[in-house]
Structure 1
Amino acid sequence: MENGSFSTGDTELDRAVRLWLRFDKNPKTVSMVQDLVKDGAVETLKKYFSSRMEFGTAGLRAAMGPGIACMNDLTIIQTTQGFCRYLEKSFSDLKERGVVIGYDARAHPPSGGSSKHFARLAAAVFISQGVPVHLFSDITPTPFVPFTVSHLGLCAGIMVTASHNPKQDNGYKVYWENGAQIVSPHDKEISKAIEENLEPWPESWSTEAALKNPLLKDPYQDIHTEYFKAIQKHCHHRDINKTSKVKIVHTSVHGVGHAFVQSAFKAFELNPPYAVEEQKDPDPEFPTVKYPNPEEGEGVLTLSFALAEREGATVVLANDPDADRLAIAEKQENGQWRVFTGNELGALLGWWMFRCWKQQTSDASVVKNLYMLSSTVSSKILRAIALKEGFHFEETLTGFKWMGNRARDLLDQGKTVLFAFEEAIGYMCSPCVLDKDGVSGAAIAAEMISYLATENISLSQQLTSVYTEYGYHMSKNSYFICHNQDVIRSLFERLRNHDGQKNSYPTECGRFPISAIRDLTTGYDSSQPDKKAVLPVSSSSQMITFTFSNGGVATMRTSGTEPKIKYYTELCTAPGNSDVAYLKKELDELVDAIIENFFEPQKNKLQPKPE
């Protein structure tokens, strides 16, 4: 086997494995592959070697392990070599400006992979080509990378993280010179460049030499200072913060967030939040949670609630492991905890950001230069606030890459982008980071909570006030798990070829008539005069939005990073109409009808969201 004299009976597979064993210098992954060959584990080898991880607009995300389908030393080097070549082509001043690289605390001992090690390998690749690298010397929240790109005027940024994915996963997230995540066509061009640079360059493995190279700089201290200085522009009630008696619990769910959220509270002169001891230090095993994702709600927050009960705290803040998302829960009068949905927090933070802006602004006419953004699957509450208050609301495609890039365009036109959010608990409360940011979000939310406490108003009460003033917006979102691409394809194709007729969509869903359909996979939009969608179209992902005659909106889409078919629904009332019971009943029935009519034929091939 040492000389490549093995055969699995699959020529393509053999070639891929031989190439791997020739290129890989990590003894752990080499030995894993050699053992699989020795054992004749063809199916497992196919899993690792049949297709390379796809480099998309979210970069890479996959399990750590051997082979081209996984995150490991070799695939990190190959990816970075391709990215480096693409940047050289895109920026004539790359060697003057350089790049930034950050990482979280993930690790996978069996394959020797860790975020820190991957970040160092990526740094070695750039340094071998004479490119200056700002490599953080310690773990950082994801928002620090886009902040550094903008603050230092760099060509690009890389964050090694899998965010809230299961512990075996890792990822490679890429930011462009504008401080936002990359969008097409960069992903396709980078992908092409990776394929053209698969053989490791001699110095790509030389992390020790790279760490001593004068081209390597550590931005940690400077960025720590500058970031907290930048977010203080959004601190409007320092006097209230200083004297606030509100007790808040914070969990970083074994991720990077603890120290940074403590610093953000300090920057706002808020009392430090109580930290959940068992979860405050980074731990790649995530020992206390099944999924390290605060979006999953109560299961992730059990320890936070217990600490809050002990300390008499009324609010819990939670970050995901790379601290770019924020979840909030509040103790209700009946003693139960309410975990707010991403859309409800979007309503509260949107209201708060506008209120603070209005108080700081003497010239009301500048409201016409003000913008808020949210993704197309998020609540339309910001649109309702914008209609009443006179600022602009814009909808983008799903994902902060779209909101970040649109925010940059607007900022370049001299507009003010006050707030952006997506329902997956992602909030951009400051344009100093053109991405979701759970660190600044935590401090800004804590200031809002402290202010409301002086008026004796809870978050739940304030949310009711927002909905009373601008119209109740009720959402119901969930997902099915599906690993089979053919099943996913046939489910969506059935919706496009309704009753067996090509390019004809359903006109009703149970008792609910459909008034408009937008398909951002094919570019069809029945509400446009030319039937062409206005938002960008992507044939590589599935996404159809149905608008119903009762004003309800439902979107079905595939996830870019997980094996899920997600659905998002919303119904709303006019301002002043508070018939919440009717709204809830109508929405529940609409969701039941969607599951029965749109998912049912494939239901036995789908797994429901785990409880």
Structure 2
Amino acid sequence: MENDLPTTGDSELDRAIRQWLDYDKNPKTVSLVQRMVKEGAVEELQKCFSSRMEFGTAGLRAAMGPGISCMNDLTIIQTTQGFCRYLEECFGNLKERGVVIGYDARAHPDSGGSSKHFASLAAAVFISHGIPVHLFSDITPTPFVPFTVSHLGLCAGVMVTASHNPKQDNGYKVYWDNGAQIVSPHDKGISKAIEKNLEPWPESWNTEEALKSPLLKDPYQDIHTQYFTAIQKHCHHREINKSSEVKIVHTSVHGVGHTFVQTAFKAFDLHPPYAVEEQKDPDPEFPTVKYPNPEEGEGVLTLSFALAEREGASVVLANDPDADRLAIAEKQKSGQWRVFSGNELGALLGWWMFHCWKQENPDAAAVKNLYMLSSTVSSKILRAIALKEGFHFEETLTGFKWMGNRARDLMNQGKTVLFAFEEAIGYMCSPSVLDKDGVSAAAIAAEMTSYLATKKTSLSQQLTAIYEEYGYHITKNSYFICHDQDVIRKLFDRLRNYGDQKGSYPTKCGDFSVSAVRDLTTGYDSNQPDNKAVLPTSASSQMITFSFSNGGVATMRTSGTEPKIKYYTELCAAPGNSDVAQLNKELDALVDAIIETFFEPQKNKLQPKLE
């Protein structure tokens, strides 16, 4: 082995380490690998070198550190070289149109990795092949990258971010020329191209030259102006906003969102929100939170609640660190804070977007051209609103890549896509960004809050009014942790061959009757005339949805990024049924029946969610 390093005794591992040391030019990661070899840390080396990060439709996401299984300078170069080659195959005009690269504020001193540095290396790779690069000169929210792709007509976009993941992680998120995240088969094509381009090209390390290149442009000022001009189209009550006395607190949870949300409020003529001082500046250590994920609820919002109490604010807005998602909490009359679920916020924002659209489009026929979307594991409240109001509702597979691509298809057909959401606090309130966007959602939610205040109505009261009009939609979601793929496979196989009958699904779940089954792993859907699912299927991931005769819906699926079996349940009541206590009781009973019936006999091998 080079540098007179000892061998590990594993020839494949030694070969991978040797290649790494031949290719890597980052002294910190080289030194970390050399130290592990000298210390004989075989287990640690195997974690770093046994398998390359898998490039999927969400791009890459992994811990920063040395080796092919981690995010570092070399894997960023290898990934970008593959992506560059794939784009050259797909676009004959790549050198005219170019790409955009953005980044958040993450950093990992131990390995010398940071989002900004990774973005510079990616830029160097593209520029070395004569491809123009629009590289942001400063941190931006993730939504700015898809916005730039669409606004400038580029071939692709890269955002270096790990969103709300723990501090040691980073990611490489990819957008196509339609402004949406990539979907299959692009992930497989890029993955193959990465494998063919592992050796760094001569200029790939040369960030200094790349940053001086005439092919490098900084889109920051232009995109900053254009983005806020674009989202202003969704500002409908400027006079109310100016005079509103509603006080709002905002936290960016040590991420990039602070200045952008302040600017969005200004664009809407809203009074600036109170910023949580300890969390407003980017800090890759995320010192005040265990996990920088506002979806976790109260634990992440403790400082926001304290500031709201001091300032007399009634609403808290929280973005995740790359500002593509939004959480909201509201102080109740009892003095307690209510953190809205992603589904509840989907109901509120969906209602608000339609309310504003209807005011500006009195022509009754125009509604036939209108669409709203949500993912298949999200609440069906938009479907209920659509049925009554006459617009179209569609569900897509889980993830904004599906909603963004479907929205683009509809827009290309001349349709209006007003709103899309997923239960994991992701909202697309403007077709200018075909992805979730926590910045525009924050301003739009603040305007909704100000408007409701003029009607002496709170967000909670408005949510109740929505449910009273369109039917209560009560959800209960959770998960089991399971590291054993065999246990997961047996659990889902049992549901597909229920009662040992091949191809037979359960017809009962405790006291509840199953009225329909959709299996997006096999492509079966009992609701379709030919029993074939309309939505895309994937044999590599598990996902089954059961509908029940009482209006309940339950989806069980595996996570693409975590060792989890997730379940999502919802009870959809007809308008007029407002016995919330009874509905909650019925949903609890359904969830208990699902766990007892569907998760048996593997239940003792599963670890429940830690509350």
Q: Which TM bucket (shorter chain)? A: over 0.9
For 2:38, the equivalent position in structure 1 comes to 38
1:298-377 to 2 correspondences below 5 Å:
298-377=298-377
In 2, the alpha carbon distance for the partners of 1:242 and 1:402 equals 37
For 2:428, the equivalent position in structure 1 comes to 428
For 1:7, the equivalent position in structure 2 comes to 7
Q: Which moved more, 1:190-199 or 1:29-38?
A: 29-38
For 1:264, the equivalent position in structure 2 comes to 264
1:423-462 to 2 correspondences below 5 Å:
423-462=423-462
In 2, the alpha carbon distance for the partners of 1:124 and 1:58 equals 22
Aligned-pair distance for 1:3?
Answer: 4.9
Structure 1 segments (4+ residues) deviating >6 Å: none
For 1:569, the equivalent position in structure 2 comes to 569
For 2:519, the equivalent position in structure 1 comes to 519
For 1:274, the equivalent position in structure 2 comes to 274
For 1:120, the equivalent position in structure 2 comes to 120
Q: Which moved more, 1:544-553 or 1:498-507?
A: 498-507
Please give the secondary structure, in 1, of the residue aligned with 2:236: coil
For 2:528, the equivalent position in structure 1 comes to 528
Q: Structure 1 residues 71 and 256, CA, compared in 2 at 3 Å: closer, same or farther?
A: same
Aligned-pair distance for 1:519?
Answer: 1.1
Q: Structure 1 residues 138 and 88, CA, compared in 2 at 3 Å: closer, same or farther?
A: same
Gaps of 5+ in 1: none
For 1:97, the equivalent position in structure 2 comes to 97
Quick one: which amino acid aligns to residue 541 of structure 2?
S
Q: Structure 1 residues 497 and 8, CA, compared in 2 at 3 Å: closer, same or farther?
A: farther
1:34-113 to 2 correspondences below 5 Å:
34-113=34-113
Aligned-pair distance for 1:5?
Answer: 6.2
Aligned-pair distance for 1:53?
Answer: 0.7
Q: Structure 1 residues 7 and 411, CA, compared in 2 at 3 Å: closer, same or farther?
A: same
Aligned residues of 1:253 and 1:319 also touching (Cα < 8 A)? yes
For 2:218, the equivalent position in structure 1 comes to 218
Q: TM-score, normalised by structure 1?
A: 0.98
For 1:233, the equivalent position in structure 2 comes to 233
Q: CA deviation digits over 1:446-475, x for unaligned, max 9?
A: 000000000100000000000000000000
Q: Percent identity?
A: 86
In 2, the alpha carbon distance for the partners of 1:379 and 1:91 equals 38
In 2, the alpha carbon distance for the partners of 1:108 and 1:44 equals 18
For 1:504, the equivalent position in structure 2 comes to 504
Q: CA deviation digits over 1:164-212, x for unaligned, max 9?
A: 1111111100000000000000000000100110111011011111111
Aligned-pair distance for 1:111?
Answer: 0.9
Aligned-pair distance for 1:561?
Answer: 2.6
Q: Which moved more, 1:238-247 or 1:494-503?
A: 494-503
In 2, the alpha carbon distance for the partners of 1:129 and 1:150 equals 23
In 2, the alpha carbon distance for the partners of 1:46 and 1:434 equals 39
Aligned residues of 1:256 and 1:323 also touching (Cα < 8 A)? yes
Q: TM-score, normalised by structure 2?
A: 0.98
Q: Give the number of aligned pairs.
A: 611
Quick one: which amino acid aligns to residue 472 of structure 2?
Y
Gaps of 5+ in 2: none
Aligned residues of 1:517 and 1:544 also touching (Cα < 8 A)? yes
1:190 aligns with 2:190: yes
For 2:29, the equivalent position in structure 1 comes to 29
For 1:175, the equivalent position in structure 2 comes to 175
Query: RMSD of the alignment, in Å?
Result: 1.2
Please give the secondary structure, in 2, of the residue aligned with 1:379: coil
In 2, the alpha carbon distance for the partners of 1:138 and 1:67 equals 28
Aligned residues of 1:513 and 1:548 also touching (Cα < 8 A)? yes
Q: Which moved more, 1:532-541 or 1:447-456?
A: 532-541
Aligned residues of 1:254 and 1:281 also touching (Cα < 8 A)? yes
In 2, the alpha carbon distance for the partners of 1:370 and 1:256 equals 33
Quick one: which amino acid aligns to residue 245 of structure 1?
E
Please give the secondary structure, in 2, of the residue aligned with 1:111: coil
Aligned residues of 1:572 and 1:583 also touching (Cα < 8 A)? no
In 2, the alpha carbon distance for the partners of 1:485 and 1:514 equals 27
Q: CA deviation digits over 1:470-505, x for unaligned, max 9?
A: 000000011223333333323322322323443332
Aligned residues of 1:266 and 1:272 also touching (Cα < 8 A)? yes
Aligned-pair distance for 1:539?
Answer: 1.5
In 2, the alpha carbon distance for the partners of 1:607 and 1:77 equals 38
Quick one: which amino acid aligns to residue 27 of structure 2?
P
Please give the secondary structure, in 2, of the residue aligned with 1:420: strand
Please give the secondary structure, in 2, of the residue aligned with 1:453: helix
